[in-house]
């Protein structure tokens, strides 16, 4: 691979915030970057050396974009897979591999993969439509998940009992047994083209006390060491079994009994790894680049405890974004802001995030509350 | 200031590696960036939203470039100062201020400033030419420094005795008493437009045992606390007295007796602050942006001990750069590489740098030696 020269082209499919932060790491390896994204502007616009506007689902668009790249990667998994296979066949290096992306794109295939490889996961049954779900009413309470197309919390519905079945998706998907979750965690692992594997310490998702939403993330997690180690081992086994080249973010449930179950995975940088930019020896973005460039993986050690708070568009505001309270926010020692370059805000849109560094866990938790009060994205 | 919108333009004069790393921090504040540099390519090319090729010494070029910016800053101090004054007069915010850059551009004025403000510095006399130096032969041994134009070690010559005077600059400059230096250190301070000041911990410059060159930097320094504190206080006083808005890197000598003397300063991000990207709560680049944007300054706390090694072009090679041993280098745990995007290498050219993170100071020093052996820039 003739990398580290100005003319080595890294193609990134998807131009969202994950691509943006990946682009911020690219200069360190002298990469020439091209991005494909459906939007005219957005987080990666103006930051990549080349920017192509086009659909990620269109075969011709993805094929043509990928054909010019020396190395092709993704920052979102909802991509035309046939085009990626064709590019791979024609000699373009595509990492993560199309075969891995294809498994992950379909939650049914993903779950079957866990079963086939003894990866612990909640019990499930595959369903083809709503009528199918009715025949499995004894399996409820369960989550009904769409096979394809769910993203960022979408494509999932909770079915408590048979009365809820009318709300279920009338589509290919699955029913996943509702389990009592004590904690949600995430582990990001990396595997390079030489087969080397490296795992970031587990990150804990703290839920909002009222809404069923992740409120913030804390790294390292407060879980017992053996649970963290179990989770990290599962992530390690997963990247090995998938033979993925690149990052794999593994979202997991921890039950009251301390059992660790895989929820779902993403073959790319992840929301739960933003804090690695400031808090770890190597950031998830640099780690992804090292993995796909065939370089030795970096140390994943945590240097400081941290929290990550998503900066969401305030309810009631849609339009050109205004960041109210940035001054107040940045007065909080150890806080760093990452704005995503989105011109317009709308309710709950991810407009940026804040990383807070503090080794005193009580002070860290206090600062999370201060951060949330300090800044608002309005219009 | 209408910052944090896509249309807020930050102009950066100079397109070298300091500009490159500054650009990597700009997306976090949604800045639209424009760079002025004399070269067609180089470290900032393709990374800024707009790139203008032109002379930094030419009045019209600098004026025209600056006129389009909402906020103008520098990454090199050798800039047409008249143009900056005119831009400031016409309402463009220029940080650091032209008045500060002007003081620093001329080492004679810089030294006089230290004297006037009780900033400890080596004894000196101003000289206008070589003949002048002869009349001060009793002042030798001394360093003869050019008033203007010296950069990166240039413009300085050591005069041991009267026999050396023939080698002296026949130009405006100064003689600085040669002092017995035990250690060289650097402190980077920041001051924002509200007058808030923040100081990074002192960094120690480790010299090559044979050549009279900085070999690598270590942070934190191994000096006694009271010496570090004295140095940090001097840097703090300097930014206050200069009323600079932005970063000020203060290079200092520490004598055997523990006296701290200011050598020279730079009003911008500095080679001695690269490691802050990985090792501190806030990087020097983000700190510079916070300062010039009028935002609260970030915490400068060190989270992990680090070393910084410049990656210089190998002797005997000139041409398209090849990075030999990148694999070997990145196997060293805690090492991170920053390539500068320079297409051609030549002997001793700064092609990149490596940051090494390790809290065990002995292991850190060992890794410095491993790093230097691992990687070579050839052609």
Judging contacts by C-beta atoms under 8 Å, the chain B residues touching residue A337 are: 28-29
Q: Give the position of tokens 């003869």.
A: B144
Domains and CATH numbers, chain B: 9-94 (3.40.50.20), 123-177 (3.30.1490.20), 181-378 (3.30.470.20)
* Chain B residues with CB-CB distance to A335 below 8 A: 298
Residue of A28, A74, A20, A17 lying closest to A47 (CA atoms): A20
Q: Which of B340, B364, B377 is nearest to B16 (CA)?
A: B340
Q: Which residues of chain B have pLDDT under 50?
A: 1
- Residue among B341, B354, B352, B349 at smallest CA distance from B317: B349
Q: Is B299 on the interface with A (CB under 8 A)?
A: yes
Q: Which residue of B has its CA nearest to A19?
A: B27
What DSSP character marks residue B208?
A: P
How, if at all, do strands B203-207 and B181-191 pair?
antiparallel
Check if the beta carbon of residue A15 is closer than 8 Å to that of residue A39. yes
Give the ranges where chain B is alpha helix by DSSP (H). 17-25, 59-67, 81-89, 98-105, 107-116, 130-135, 225-242, 276-279, 284-292, 326-331, 361-374
Each residue's pLDDT tens digit, B13-30 = 999 999 999 999 999 999
pLDDT tens track for B361-371: 999 999 999 99
Which residues in chain A have their CB less than 8 angstroms from residue B46's CB? 32, 49
Tokens of B356: 């090494």
> In chain B, what residues touch A286 (CB-CB under 8 Å)?
336
pLDDT, residue A153, reads 64
In 3D space, the residue among A23, A40, A49 whose CA is nearest the CA of residue A342 turns out to be A40
Assigned token pair, A361? 């866990």
Q: Provide the sign of the torsion angle of the four alpha carbons B328, B203, B273, A323, taken in this order.
A: positive
Our CA-based measurement puts residue B153 at a distance from the nearest CA of chain A, in whole angstroms, of 25
Q: Do A295 and B327 touch (CB under 8 A)?
A: yes
Chain B environment of A326 (Cβ under 8 Å): 4, 295
Chain B nearest-CA residue for A25 = B24
Indicate yes or no: pTM above 0.90: yes
Cβ of A256: how many Cβ atoms within 10 Å?
A: 10
B290 contacts A330? CB cut-off 8 A: yes
The pLDDT of residue B1 is 47
CA distance A334 to chain B (A): 6
Cβ–Cβ gap A27/B282 under 8 Å: no
The 10s digit of each residue's pLDDT in B180-197 is 999 999 999 999 999 999
Are the beta carbons of A336 and B30 separated by less than 8 Å? no
* Strands B142-146, B173-177: pairing kind: antiparallel
Of all helices (H) and strands (E), which one includes residue A103? Answer: helix A98-105
Residue A110 at interface with chain B, using a CB cutoff of 8 Å: no
Per the CB < 8 A criterion, the answer to whether B212 and B358 are in contact is: no
**Unique residue bearing structure tokens 């050690």:** A301
Do the chains contact at A295 and B320, CB–CB below 8 Å?
Answer: no
Q: What is the interface pTM, i.e. ipTM, of the complex?
A: 0.95
- Whether residue A92 has a cis bond before it, omega within 30° of 0: no
Q: Does B360 reach chain A within 8 Å, measured CB to CB?
A: no
pLDDT for position B152: 62
Instruction: Give pLDDT < 50 ranges for chain A.
Output: 1
Grouping H, G, I as helix, E, B as strand and the rest as coil, residue B334 is coil
Q: For residue A277, give the chain B residue with the closest CA.
A: B278
Residues recorded for chain B: 379
The single-letter DSSP state of residue A23 is H
Contact criterion met (CB below 8 Å) for A110 and A103: yes
pLDDT given at position A1: 47
Residue B174 C-alpha from the chain's centroid: 21
Cβ within 8 Å, pair B296-A331: yes
Binary contact (A334, B301; C-beta < 8 A) = yes
CA distance B201 to A95: 41
pLDDT > 90 fraction of chain B, expressed in percent and rounded: 92
Which residues of chain B make contact with A303, given a CB cutoff of 8 A? 279, 303-304, 357
Q: Give, for A309, the enclosing helix (H) or strand (E).
A: strand A306-312
Q: Which residues pair with A156 in a beta bridge?
A: A145
Closest CA in chain B for residue A34: B46
Length of chain A: 379
CB distance from B141 to chain A under 8 Å?
no
Query: Which residues of chain A lie closer than 8 angstroms to B321, CB-CB?
Result: 5
A319 φ/ψ angles, rounded to the nearest 5 degrees: 145, -165
Instruction: Look at residue A212 in the predicted model and tell me its pLDDT.
Output: 67
Q: CB under 8 Å to B89, separation ≥6 — which residues?
A: none
Bridge partners, residue B166, by sequence: none
If we measure between CA atoms, which residue out of B243, B230, B203 comes closest to residue B117?
B243
CB atoms inside a 10 Å sphere around CB A183: 20
Q: State the Cα angle at A12 between B25 and A48, rounded to 5°.
A: 40
Q: How far apart are CA B286 and CA B329, in angstroms?
A: 27
């Amino acid at each position: 691979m003739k990398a580290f020269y100005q003319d080595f082209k890294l193609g990134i499919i998807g131009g969202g915030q994950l691509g943006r932060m990946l682009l911020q790491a690219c200069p360190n390896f002298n990469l020439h970057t091209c991005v494909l994204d459906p939007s005219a502007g957005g987080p990666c616009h103006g930051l990549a050396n080349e920017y192509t506007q086009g659909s990620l689902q269109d075969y011709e668009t993805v094929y043509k974009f990928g054909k010019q790249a020396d190395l092709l990667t993704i920052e979102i998994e909802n991509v035309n897979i046939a085009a990626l296979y064709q590019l791979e066949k024609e000699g373009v290096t595509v990492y993560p591999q199309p075969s891995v992306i294809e498994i992950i794109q379909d939650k049914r295939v993903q779950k079957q993969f866990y079963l086939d490889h003894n990866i612990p996961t909640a019990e499930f049954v595959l369903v083809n439509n709503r009528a199918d779900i009715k025949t499995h009413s004894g399996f409820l309470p369960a989550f009904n998940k769409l096979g394809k197309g769910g993203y960022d919390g979408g494509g999932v519905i909770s079915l408590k009992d048979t009365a809820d079945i009318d709300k279920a998706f009338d589509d290919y998907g699955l029913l996943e047994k509702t389990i009592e979750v004590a904690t949600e965690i995430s582990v990001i692992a990396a595997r390079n083209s030489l087969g080397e594997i490296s795992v970031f310490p587990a990150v804990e998702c703290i839920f909002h006390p009222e809404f069923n939403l992740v409120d913030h993330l804390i790294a390292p997690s407060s879980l017992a060491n053996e649970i963290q180690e179990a989770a990290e081992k599962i992530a390690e086994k997963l990247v090995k079994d998938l033979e993925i080249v690149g990052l794999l973010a593994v979202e997991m449930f921890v039950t009251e009994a301390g059992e660790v179950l895989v929820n779902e995975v993403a073959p790319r940088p992840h929301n739960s790894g933003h804090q690695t930019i400031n808090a770890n020896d190597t950031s998830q973005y640099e780690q992804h680049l090292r993995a796909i460039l065939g370089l030795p993986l970096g140390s994943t050690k945590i240097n400081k405890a941290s929290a990550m708070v998503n900066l969401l568009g305030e309810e009631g505001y849609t339009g050109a974004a205004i960041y109210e309270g940035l001054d107040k926010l940045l007065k909080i020692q150890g806080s760093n802001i990452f704005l995503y370059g989105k011109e317009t805000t709308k309710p709950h849109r991810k407009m940026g995030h804040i990383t807070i560094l503090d080794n005193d866990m009580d002070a860290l938790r206090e600062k999370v509350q201060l951060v949330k009060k300090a800044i608002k994205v309005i219009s």
